[in-house]
Amino acid sequence: MKFVFTLFLSCVTLCTLAQNRVGHLSIFSEDGDKFQLYLNGELINEEPMANLRVEDLPQPFYNARIVFEDPAKTELKKQRLMIEDVDGNLMDVTYKIKRDKNMSTKMKLNYFSSVPVQPDFIPASNVHVIHYGSPRRNEPGVNMGVNMGGVNIDVSIQDPNMQVTTREQRTYSETHSTQAPAPRGCRNRYAMSGTDFNNALQTVKKQSFDDTRLKVAKQVASANCLSVQQIKQIASELSFEEGKLDFAKFAYDYCTDTKNYFNLNDIFSFSSSVDELTNYISNKQ
């Protein structure tokens, strides 16, 4: 029994160390169409989902197949879907599914974003997460099933020459984690894409009055996640100090990198505005 426990601890340690050599893949449907994902022919999620994240993928690319819950929608296939960047680093990659403008049943899979893997990343509450562990080698004759903090981990070892795989599946909910993410789960999430943000910024700019610009700016923030630089660009389109401060406070809840919020200080003309924003943030933390 002592040997089995030691073996389990070794397996967990190897899994932890391996996290530095894996990538993650997120796929979401822009219109909420639920789907099943196959990677290299293996079904990843048995229950169709509209927002899926597969963690700890050890390979640089996969052959992907997406089958929709609605059989009328055409399935998607993508050969060599990349998980690594041009330098060979495994990344946290996101793809977006959208419907063809001319054909509601024809679907497209588009690249959305890619960021370095963050070990402490917490997905938003509406994301279905599947952990797909990389293969391990170990001793024969050991079978273990462990539940840790609500996460089921199964380790099956049949032969020393066979690969051992760990597989864990979990769905995040608002009460799942004791470490609460930022409001709406925007911290460490993906900010608006450059194209979408530029379109939103132009909409703000087109408004004739500052009050209307502020209203539109808040609409943009409340429907998306924004980086500090994006918030700064929008706030700079507001003419009055009061409006800039109002938006800076409002947008904090939708910021992906709140640790850099101090970069907003130079949009203000008065030090009192900087102090007020600082106090506001302090009270929220």
Q: Where are the alpha helices (DSSP H) in the chain?
A: 2-18, 194-205, 210-222, 228-236, 241-251, 271-284
Which pLDDT value is given to residue 261?
Answer: 93
- Report residue 121's pLDDT band, with 50, 70 and 90 as the boundaries: confident
Mean pLDDT of the chain: 78
Angle at 25 between CA 32 and CA 52, to 5 degrees: 30
Which pLDDT value is given to residue 10?
Answer: 55
CA dihedral 276, 121, 20, 114 (to 10 degrees): -90
Which pLDDT value is given to residue 138?
Answer: 38
Which pLDDT value is given to residue 86?
Answer: 77
Gyration radius from the chain CA atoms: 23
pLDDT digits (tens, 9 = 90+) for 210-227: 999 999 999 898 888 999
Residue of higher predicted confidence among 162 and 248 = 248
**How far apart, in whole angstroms, are the C-alpha atoms of residue 78 and residue 52?**
16
Which pLDDT value is given to residue 158?
Answer: 44
**Kind and range of the H or E run holding 171:** strand 166-171
Contact present, 163 and 137 (Cβ < 8 Å): yes
Model pTM greater than 0.75? no
